[in-house]
Structure 1
Amino acid sequence: MHRAVVLLALALLAPVLASCASERQGRNTDDALVDALEVPDSGVCRVLTPEDVALTSNATRTVPCSKEHTAETFATGELPAEFDKVAYDDSALARFAYRTCSKAFADFVGADESLVLRTTLSWAWFRPSEKAWKKGARWYRCDVLGGSSASTTYRPLPETAKGMLSGRAPDVWLSCARGPSVAEGEKVPCSQKHDWRAVTTVKLGQPEDAYPGDRVMESRTRSFCSSSVEAWLNYPAEFEYGFTFFHKPEWDAGIRRSVCWARTSE
């Protein structure tokens, strides 16, 4: 007997698609970076908090990557010319940032399509301040973070996050949950005591496919995750599993996978 006990839709794009009218640019700002017009440096580190990441622009001063930090910039660049005339909060900016930063993030940390959705690491992107935007600044910055959109604090990162998920990823950076279900449980790293582990993902479409609708997504995810988790657990007589499927905004951004969770303390 097997039983699906949870349906959870992750707000994966929330930090990407959200906008903030505040002109604050983070804590502990560097005057040289406030309202900066130039493309930021890549390969630098900062101590960022979820509150910093909630802002559209960030001018927090850098720290040596050999010192404790929670964020590392892994990609920067000029925005394409198509954004020269768009509004500061145009939704096309968020879609560009998702496509650009998500691919660069996976390459940087050494994660495949599945692991990207099962790690406690995440990324955030920043644009120029609104003042700098009005002066013609058009750049983006992608930072890897020691936590996810559900985190209230971030964990310190290693001196560099480059390749940190290559090979066998450490449990401290893998997603688990503690509680009666994934939806109700507290999200914790798998290095901590847990009841659920995000073990696999299942592919539900090709890049050119249209979104099939919530009902189809749920049905396919439930069926595919049942088989996937059963195999991961080595075909036990009884097991419990959960699943996460994404909705149209995430599909439009390019996500074609759902996440499968196994009830396990391992």
Structure 2
Amino acid sequence: MTRQLPVPRPPLLTRMVALLAAASLAVTAGCAAPPPGTDGTLTDGWAGFGEPTIFVPQAGTCHRDEAASGSGRYYRPVDCDELHLVETVHVGTFTGADAQRTTAPVGNVPARETARVECDARAAEFLGDIWQHGLLDMTVLMPPQAAWSAGARWFRCDLIEISSVFRGTVLPRTGSLRGTLADGGALRLGCHVVRWGDDHLEALEPVDCARPHHGEFVGAFDGGALPSSWPGDEAIQESCLLMIADYADLPVDEDLPYRVATFWFRTGNPSVWEGDLRVRCFLYVPDFTTPLVRSAKGGGPDLFPVW
């Protein structure tokens, strides 16, 4: 009788059987009762991922430094009672065609003008008067392109206090700017010491109206709707002189230019869409005349005789 020997298994098949046996043991082990205090479910205690959020700055916040960018990484607001340079008085939202842009509104684009108009109005509500009537300046900050591409559509209205409306510096302060331009407000523009160089304005220093001075802020008016429609210097000069006559209660006649003089300057750059178009108008009595020691408001011809 012949003896039949078993056919040897290939090594690969042997390894596969071993792996299947190990997998079977693992499955069997998974069916065992979970340890005390557990339910055997791994994921039911995990919180789900929330929807991604887009950074939006907040109004009513103050900041130690002027923002170089609208990026959230530089956003570090502080309490307005702490020393700061900037106060955000309003945060608006682009809508309509402005919101449909694929690029952030940078440069000479109408969307920036739209934002500035809204910032002007909200700042006036906050301050008690338009910011151009005070020792203030305003910046409109936009989201960076990366944030815009991600869906950010906000714009931020920032106010700063300045030492002078002519070549002034930014002043650190404590406390909010709210109400500072209401009647009697501390930052309202008033009387000024005027210093001239060779036929040019050199310095404009705020001073109490009871002290000798030759200049006084009268008001700001709109110099034009668009850069292309700006009136010439002579037209602005005439508008400013008429504003002075109303302010100082002077007759508008041929003697008016011989009672008071004026100087003025724009509050923004009219060559860009977001440029502020208002003109700050100042009454001026020449250095060869007696300086004023009171406000010019309502002074009449007795205060301003013909030179």
TM-score normalised by length of structure 1: 0.64
Q: Is residue 42–residue 74 contact of structure 1 (8 Å, CA) maintained in 2? A: yes
Note the residue ranges of structure 2 that are not aligned, 5 or more in a row.
Answer: 1-52, 286-290, 294-307
1:198–1:43 Cα change, 3 Å: same
Identity %: 17
Question: Are the structure 2 counterparts of residues 179 and 141 from structure 1 closer, same or farther at C-alpha, using a change threshold of 3 Å?
Answer: same
CA distance in 2, matches of 1:73, 1:122: 12
Question: What is the aligned-residue RMSD (CA, Å)?
Answer: 4.0
C-alpha separation in 1, matches of 2:139 and 2:207: 22
* Pairing of 1:64-103 with structure 2 (within 5 A): 64-83=79-98, 84-88=100-104, 89-90=106-107, 91-103=109-121
Query: Does the CA contact (< 8 Å) of 2:119 and 2:157 recur in 1?
Result: yes
Q: Which amino acid aligns with 2:113?
A: R
Cα distance in 1 for residues equivalent to 2:195 and 2:284: 13
**Equivalences for residues 238-257 of structure 1 within 5 A:** 240-244=260-264, 246=266, 255=277
CA distance in 2, matches of 1:251, 1:135: 25
The amino acid that maps onto 1:120 is L
Map of 2:22 onto structure 1: none
Measure the CA separation in 2 of the matches of 1:74 and 1:161.
9
Q: How many pairs does the alignment contain? A: 219
Does residue 146 (structure 1) correspond to residue 166 (structure 2)? The answer is no
Question: Which residue matches 2:70?
Answer: 57
Distance 1:94 1:261, change over 3 A: farther
Structure of higher CA gyration radius: 2
* Residues 21-40 of structure 1 mapped to structure 2, 5 A cutoff: 37-40=54-57
- 1:214 positional shift: 0.6
Task: Provide TM-score, normalisation by structure 2.
Answer: 0.57
CA distance in 2: counterparts of 1:216 and 1:164, whole angstroms: 33
Asked if the contact 1:200–1:228 (Cα under 8 Å) also holds between the matched residues in 2, the reply is no
Contact 1:202 1:260 in 2 (8 A): no
Are 1:199 and 2:223 matched, yes or no? Answer: no
Q: What is the CA-CA distance between 1:117 and the residue it aligns to?
A: 2.8
Q: Is the 8 A contact 2:264 2:280 kept in 1?
A: yes
Structure number with greater CO (CA < 8 Å, separation at least 6) is 1
Which position in structure 1 is the counterpart of 2:146?
131
Give the Å deviation of 1:203: 5.2
Q: How many angstroms does 1:103 deviate by?
A: 0.9
Q: Closer, same or farther in 2 for the Cα pair 1:142/1:226, shift >3 Å?
A: closer
